[in-house]
Amino acid sequence: MSASHDAQLALACLDYTRLNELDSEQDIHAFLAQLSASQPRPAAICVYPQWLEYVRKYVDTHFNWPLALATVTNFPSGSQPLEQVLAQTQEALSQGANEVDLVLPYKALIDGDEALALRYVQESKALCANNAKLKVIIESGELPLDLVAKAARIAIKGGADFVKTSTGKVPVNATLEAVEVILDEIQLSGKAVGVKVSGGVKTLAQAQQYLQLAVAKMGGAWVTPVNFRFGASALLDELYAAI
């Protein structure tokens, strides 16, 4: 496949993301202004919950196409109380979020508390069901591969629509090895669950490696925005240039 084809596919699967805690409205505006109405659209825009309404108004004003709004909960530490996380989720849904990226309490999982990790997913899913997709961030770079597999299984069991690698806020984020483990767990589950590669994917060449892995494991027809996403911001300009 050509670089242009791969760039179009990566863009279609892109969750265009801005998650900086100190952002101002001017920062968010500049981030959104990089999107081109003349180019194919990404799958979603991912921002903190407080920016959802602003992003929706911007998209409605500047583009003639719909765009999913994604946000994050329990982010980035994965250690907020469950009640707080559920309140965040409910508020995000009321603000129009179409997709919610929940950080699994991965530190609890490291300590052996699988039940707590599962509860976060199940109760978040109960709120999101019929309202929004739930993507579960397992923070794969903080886990050995056996725990990557276990975290993916917990996410899938709890009802995740996607298993997502990373917050992008830790030293090691997405890796090919972790994504392969996640894809293996999705295959074994037999469920319609996708994967989101997030953190550290900044070039088309890097994106192509993940696309090739997903095609090899799941088949070319599977690699669509329904099943496969990238979480990134730095990738956008290179994808536009390649297209």
The pLDDT value recorded for residue 59 is: 95
- Domains of the chain plus CATH, in order, are 3-242 (3.20.20.70)
Burial track 160-192 (b if 16+ CB lie within 10 A, e otherwise): bbbbbbbbbeeeebbbeebbbbbbebbeeeeee
The pLDDT value recorded for residue 64 is: 86
The question of whether 6 is a catalytic residue gets the answer no
pLDDT tens, 129-177? 999 999 999 999 999 999 999 999 999 999 999 999 999 999 999 999 9
The string of DSSP letters for 120-173 reads: HHHHHHHHHTTT-EEEEE--GGGS-HHHHHHHHHHHHHHT-SEEE---S-SSS-
The question of whether 107 is a catalytic residue gets the answer no
Catalytic residue among 125, 135, 150, 164: 164
Rounded to two decimals, what is the model's pTM? Answer: 0.98
Q: How far is CA 200 from the centre of its chain?
A: 13
Q: How confident is the model at residue 200 (pLDDT cuts 50, 70, 90)?
A: very high
CB atoms within 10 A of CB 243: 17
The pLDDT value recorded for residue 2 is: 87
The pair of three-digit structure tokens given for residue 78, joined into one six-digit string: 């994965």
Q: How confident is the model at residue 1 (pLDDT cuts 50, 70, 90)?
A: low
Q: Which residues pair with 46 in a beta bridge?
A: 17, 70
SS3 letters for 7-72? HHHHHHCEEEEECCCCCCHHHHHHHHHCCCCCCCCCCEEEECHHHHHHHHHHHHHHCCCCCEEEEE
Catalytic residue among 6, 101, 135, 150: 101
Distance CA 202, CA 210 (A): 12
Q: Which residues pair with 198 in a beta bridge?
A: 231
The pair of three-digit structure tokens given for residue 61, joined into one six-digit string: 């004003």
Distance CA 20, CA 25 (A): 12
Distance CA 202, CA 209 (A): 12
Indicate left, alpha or beta for 219 from its phi (over 0: left) and psi (-120 to 50: alpha).
Answer: left
Distance CA 174, CA 140 (A): 7
pLDDT tens, 72-128? 999 999 999 999 999 999 999 999 999 999 999 999 999 999 999 999 999 999 999
Q: Where is 196: in which H helix or E strand?
A: strand 194-198
How long a stretch of residues is the chain?
Answer: 243
Indicate left, alpha or beta for 13 from its phi (over 0: left) and psi (-120 to 50: alpha).
Answer: alpha
The question of whether 164 is a catalytic residue gets the answer yes
Distance CA 73, CA 88 (A): 6
pLDDT tens, 173-199? 999 999 999 999 999 999 999 999 999
